[in-house]
Chains A and B, each alone.
Chain A
Amino acid sequence: MVNVAVVGGGYTKFGEHWSRSLRSLATEAGTLALQDAGIDGKDIEALYVGNMSAGRFIGQEHLGALAADQAGLLPIPATRCEAACASGALAFRKAYMAIKSGEYDIVLAAGSEKMTDVKGTDAVATLMGAGDQEWESAIGLTFTGLYALMARRHMAQFGTTREQLAMVSVNNHKNGVHNERAQFRYEITVEQVLKSALIADPLRLLDCSPITDGAAAVILVSDRIAGKFENPAWVLGGGHASDTVALHDRASLTEANATKIAAKKAYEQAGLSPGGIDVAEVHDCFSINEIMSIEDLGFCRKGDGGKFVEAGKIALNGEMPVNTTGGLKSIGHPIGATGIRQICDILSQLRGRSGRLQVSGANTGLACNIGGTGATSIVHILGKEEPKGR
């Protein structure tokens, strides 16, 4: 079997880029990744680009060809990947599989979203495209509302507290201060979270990731040529699973079965248990999702996520550092870019290039990117050592 390595990555400053277009941001991210890998555009054999909703955000579809065109990569095959908020990880997964198939040796996986060209209420409605149009959007639900339904149930079922939810945002902001590409580079307190505006009870403004413009890109190569690159991060395992699009069609409101299945597959392929992960990027679109996901990923038992956070275990120097570069909450969440941005930050950790945010001795890293309320979940595990005997 072909082994696959990530050999370069980069992302733009995340934020409200009123003076920049989607194509400009995506091209910058691609250029950063190529520079980082030390290769030329002519080396790239295929392109996968993650994007949720350019059609509604900027009226632009056909992003695969557009990205290849703008990046000067014509005529390579270019494919857009969409799985709501997991679009970035999906692009990465498809790029990985394209190399795994033996068809290509060097592939560019990118993700981008331009969200601030529409007004806020339009963005809220567009994001609801990730839910069930006929039965969730049609009755006035929002994504904050859907995660609020999960949060209240989690609190009732497991005793998770409002303060524990706030501590997720506090942790991620604390890390994000040192990420120069983060949208919000300041610390917040539990008290500030609890006093921020209610968006959908019990979730408040500071439980929510923001609306963001940004793009990210990584270069994947086969083991045939990986020897030419310094410090590759190998893909040790991955999983991708689906669940019902409507939250109310699930067996449980407090766990994402797709994450459990995707993680199980990724751990099996990597030959690792959750305890073997040194650093993790976990999808904190809302504070409750980080708590549910660290449970679903097996970092703690179901229901114990709040206590795990409160005990400081997800901190940079904790036993399971999570979202060491700021997470979606502080870095921002340009939907299609997030899954690729997570891979960039894991790559940086494994290379020991994360500066003040470095987890010392990080040999393995996990990225979990979730679409909608958990209808898509994609998990990848990367490591410094090339997998053997597969």
Chain B
Amino acid sequence: MTHTSSVPLYWRLKKSKYNVIGTRCRTCNTAYFPGRQLCQNCRRKGEIEELKFSGLGKILSYTIIRTAPQGFEQYTPYAVAVIELDEGTMISGQIVGNPAGLKIDQRVKPVFRKISEDGSDGLIHYGMKWELVDGQ
């Protein structure tokens, strides 16, 4: 169980799970993805607004998962990276395609993909994965 089976959980995260929409603190100009309700620097003094990210970023580090948690066993081996978005914040995400040639600093962009499913007759979870920007 990975506790992703709740429909409300996915629904309330739909902006950030299906789009790269996070937040920004207007007071100190820090971007957050996933979005935060409270700025880490300014706390209650910070003015938070929604921010649509460009979605573009680069691989800061990556791994290839070969022993997966329950619910992901059928997808191994799959690559997961920490991606530094151009707006200056980091996010974890799966990288689609052949993981063999991945390198640090490669440019990536988000793609809409199936993430996991709750067994053969359960919910199918969709969300963002990332792919290399063409020409790399």
Contacts and interface: CB of A to CB of B under 8 A. Distances in A.
A135 B17 CA distance: 9
A142 B68 CA distance: 7
A200 B13 CA distance: 28
Contacts of A140: 65, 68-69, 71-72, 75, 78, 80, 94, 115-116
B115 A145 contact: no
B19 interface: no
Given A134-B13, A142-B68, A246 B92 contact: yes
24 contacts: A122-B1, A122-B70, A124-B68, A124-B70, A133-B3, A138-B115, A139-B94, A140-B75, A141-B92, A142-B65, A144-B67, A149-B80, A150-B61, A152-B63, A153-B61, A153-B82, A156-B104, A198-B64, A199-B67, A201-B63, A202-B63, A248-B82, A248-B83, A248-B92
A156 B61 contact: yes
A261 interface: no
Nearest to B85: A248
A121 B68 contact: yes
A121 B63 CA distance: 19
A134 to B, nearest CB: 6
Contacts, number: 113
A201 B76 CA distance: 12
Closest CB pairs A-B (n = 3): A148-B63, A140-B72, A153-B61
Contacts of A248: 82-83, 90-92
Nearest to A204: B66
Contacts of A249: 89-90
Given A125-B70, A253-B82, A200 B65 contact: yes
Given A152-B62, A153-B61, A138 B67 contact: no
B93 interface: yes
A137 interface: yes
Contacts of A207: none
A249 B70 CA distance: 25
Contacts of A145: 63, 65, 80
A137 B3 contact: yes
User: Which size class do A's interface residues fall under?
Assistant: 35 or more
Contacts of B80: 139-141, 145, 149
A152 B61 contact: yes
Contacts of A246: 92
Interface in B87-132: 89-94, 104, 115-116, 125, 127, 129
Given A122-B70, A149-B80, A200-B66, A138 B2 contact: yes
Interface in A172-227: 197-203
A197 B65 CA distance: 12
A247 interface: yes
A248 B101 CA distance: 22
Nearest to B75: A140
Nearest to A150: B61
A128 interface: yes
A255 interface: no
A136 interface: yes
Given A121-B69, A139-B115, A149 B62 contact: yes
Interface string B21-55: 00000000000001000000000000000000000
